[in-house]
Amino acid sequence: MNETDTALPLDGLLVLDMSQFLSGPYCSLRLADMGARVIKIERPDGGDLSRRLYLSDTEIGGDSTIFHAINRGKESLAINMKDEGDLAALKKLIAKADVVIQNFRPGVIERLGLDYAALREINPRLVYASISGYGDEGPWVMRPGQDLLAQARSGVMWLNGDEDQGPVPFGLAIADMLAGAACCQGILAALVRRGISGQGMEVRTSLIEALIDFQFEVLTTHLNDGRRVPTRSNFRSAHAYLSAPYGVYQASDGWLAIAMTPLARLSGLMGIEGLAPFIDEPKLAFTRRDEIKRIIAATVATRSVQDWLEILEPADIWCARVMDWPELLASEGFRTLDMLQTVTRADGVSIETTRLPLRLNGLRPTRPEAAPLIGAHSAAIRKEFAL
């Protein structure tokens, strides 16, 4: 394999990340993983607030694990945006950058004079990306752009869980991650356009827009189905619009997920005589969904997950063992993916974390550098760019 084959697609691209917490840094992490040089712009007094956003009592090198996970492979330049000299130095650096990312609260970036209109004057080729909570207009603009609150307003929380549970939030910061991914997609598209036109572009997205797009499939059904609201299953719900047997069932030693499967096939393979009344009328899989799922559950509970997999998988039934993290990490399927890496730092910090979920020319890129200390690269960057 020659050098062209192994070069990362964003090698040579300079990204300045003025964002913090999760959404913007997730976007720049994806760019860094694909070869971009990402310089993280941080306050000298504390840096990115996610350095103190703890998911557990584990602290590594003075920072939270979430900060390490989402900021690996980046450099850190300490900039006091209230200092005129530092602000002038930042603008000088922006004049040489390809991409700027920011997720300040609405109005702050304009007060700093770092909005797209201002920066376009000093760098017409700049791709400028902004992530907000709820867009730039409307009654929600000044509300806190936080993941749980965005989930609450978006409908995804209401869509989750069993019917009698009430709203169930995702166990992940999906608004931040999806907005970051959407922002990355927009940046890459704008860079392609810049390669054609020579001109930069502004990219904007928000947590709420990303969550609405996340639901495009079911929302489209709702909008074109007389705007009827779907009813979640009241027993092991997995999808508000899908009929039985779609769901997760408890076996004697674990849990089994069963996706779209004709009831007649399931009845024959699993020996569930109680499904006979529902086989000839497909609509009953919807209208009597909970009743059917309870009948299936009673049979699944009599045997182990492995017993059922040995019956169902050879018959091409769509099913899977429900794994926790220890089971996932120990599985041959996971190990084959080679999704983990260890990143390190000069002060001895060593972090095991995930890798880019892409293979480029057959290879999964690895960035060996751990997340930086606040301002760790300030002196070198100032010297390199004559700041």
pLDDT in tens, 276-292: 999 999 899 999 999 99
Task: Say whether both 149 and 202 belong to one domain.
Answer: yes
pLDDT above 80: residue 254:
yes
What is the rounded distance in angstroms from the CA atom of residue 241 to the CA atom of residue 230?
A: 6
Task: Say whether both 178 and 307 belong to one domain.
Answer: no
Residue 135 dihedral angles phi and psi, to the nearest 5°: 90, -165
The pLDDT of residue 7 is: 87
Strands (E), 161-269: 201-206, 247-250, 255-258
On the 0-12 / 13-18 / 19+ scale of CB atoms within 10 A, 152 is middle
3-state secondary structure of 281: coil
Q: What percent of the chain has pLDDT over 70?
A: 99
Task: Say whether both 170 and 279 belong to one domain.
Answer: no
Q: Which segment of 95-99, 309-313, 363-367, 377-381 scores lowest on mean pLDDT?
A: 363-367
Task: Say whether both 178 and 296 belong to one domain.
Answer: no
Task: Say whether both 75 and 163 belong to one domain.
Answer: yes
Asked if residue 174 belongs to a domain, the reply is: yes
Asked if residue 221 belongs to a domain, the reply is: no
Task: Say whether both 344 and 318 belong to one domain.
Answer: no
What is the rounded distance in angstroms from the CA atom of residue 148 to the CA atom of residue 139?
A: 18
CA-wise closest residue to 179 among 169, 187, 191, 171: 187
Q: What is the pLDDT of residues 309-327, one digit of tens each?
A: 999 999 999 999 999 999 9
Both tokens of 123, joined, read: 């760098």
129 DSSP β-pair partners: 101, 203
**Domain boundary pick from 330, 354, 374:** 330
pLDDT above 80: residue 55:
no
Task: Say whether both 65 and 148 belong to one domain.
Answer: yes
CA-wise closest residue to 28 among 8, 37, 97: 37
Q: What is the pLDDT of residues 63-93, one digit of tens each?
A: 999 999 999 999 999 999 999 999 999 999 9
Task: Say whether both 51 and 141 belong to one domain.
Answer: yes
Asked if residue 301 belongs to a domain, the reply is: yes
Asked if residue 219 belongs to a domain, the reply is: no
Task: Say whether both 254 and 375 belong to one domain.
Answer: no
Task: Say whether both 150 and 193 belong to one domain.
Answer: yes
Under the banding of pLDDT at 50, 70 and 90, the label for residue 183 is: very high
Asked if residue 2 belongs to a domain, the reply is: no
Compute the average pLDDT of residues 252-275.
96
Under the banding of pLDDT at 50, 70 and 90, the label for residue 168 is: very high
What residues have CB less than 8 Å from 133, skipping those under 6 apart? 140, 141, 143, 144, 145, 146, 149, 150, 206, 207, 208
Task: Say whether both 122 and 16 belong to one domain.
Answer: yes
CATH number at residue 268: 3.30.1540.10
Q: Which range marks the domain in which residue 185 is found?
A: 10-214+336-384
Asked if residue 318 belongs to a domain, the reply is: yes
Sign of CA dihedral 38, 43, 47, 48: negative
> How far, in Å, are 40, 50, 90, 123, 382 from residue 387 at the CA level?
16, 27, 8, 16, 5
Q: What is the pLDDT of residues 87-123, one digit of tens each?
A: 999 999 999 999 999 999 999 999 999 999 999 999 9
Both tokens of 291, joined, read: 């009743």
Residue 187 CB: number of other CB atoms within 10 A?
Answer: 27
Task: Say whether both 268 and 191 belong to one domain.
Answer: no
Residue 257 dihedral angles phi and psi, to the nearest 5°: -95, 130
The pLDDT of residue 225 is: 94
**Domain boundary pick from 306, 330, 354:** 330
Helix (H) or strand (E) holding 108: helix 108-111
Under the banding of pLDDT at 50, 70 and 90, the label for residue 1 is: very low
Q: How many domains does the chain have?
A: 2
Sheet strands side by side (includes 255-258)? 247-250, 255-258, 319-321
